[in-house]
């Protein structure tokens, strides 16, 4: 992961201390489209529900991977907010510990 290129969407960061990092600036659908055209392979988003919601709203998600853990926490922020995007199941895998990996693609 340290050697992989990383693209950071941030309206506040001016630089990053991570190897191979590029600050893209605040979220811009056009900047993400350009990045998708520029990079070889897929773009993986980790740890930002806000970014994923924005990309979903702008039709920029080609595949969505969810890991469902058998734990109930009681409350929290909604993952998708008010987004209304239809998906089709592309892959499902269960693990011995009860975790499910679900891969979805936007419905045609």
Q: In what order do the strands lie in the sheet with 100-106?
A: 64-68, 100-106, 87-94
Give the pLDDT confidence score for residue 105 in this predicted structure. 93
Q: What 3-state class would DSSP assign to 74? A: coil
Q: What 3-state class would DSSP assign to 102? A: strand
Sequence spans of domains, the chain = 6-106
Give the pLDDT confidence score for residue 32 in this predicted structure. 94
CATH no. of 6-106: 3.40.430.10
- What's the pLDDT tens digit per position in 45-99? 887 888 988 998 899 999 999 999 998 888 877 777 777 788 999 999 999 999 9
Give the pLDDT confidence score for residue 81 in this predicted structure. 73
Give the pLDDT confidence score for residue 46 in this predicted structure. 82
What percent of the chain clears pLDDT 70, i.e. is strictly above it? 99
């Amino acid at each position: 992961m340290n050697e992989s290129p990383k693209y950071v969407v941030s309206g506040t960061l001016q630089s990053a201390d991570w190897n191979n990092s590029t600050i893209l600036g605040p979220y811009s659908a056009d900047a993400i489209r350009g990045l998708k055209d520029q990079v070889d392979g897929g773009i993986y988003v980790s740890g930002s529900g806000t970014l994923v919601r924005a990309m979903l709203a702008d039709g920029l998600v080609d595949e969505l991977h969810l890991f469902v853990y058998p734990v109930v926490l009681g409350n929290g922020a909604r993952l998708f907010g008010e987004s209304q995007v239809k998906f089709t199941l592309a892959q499902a895998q269960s693990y011995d510990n009860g975790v499910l990996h679900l891969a979805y693609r936007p419905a045609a």
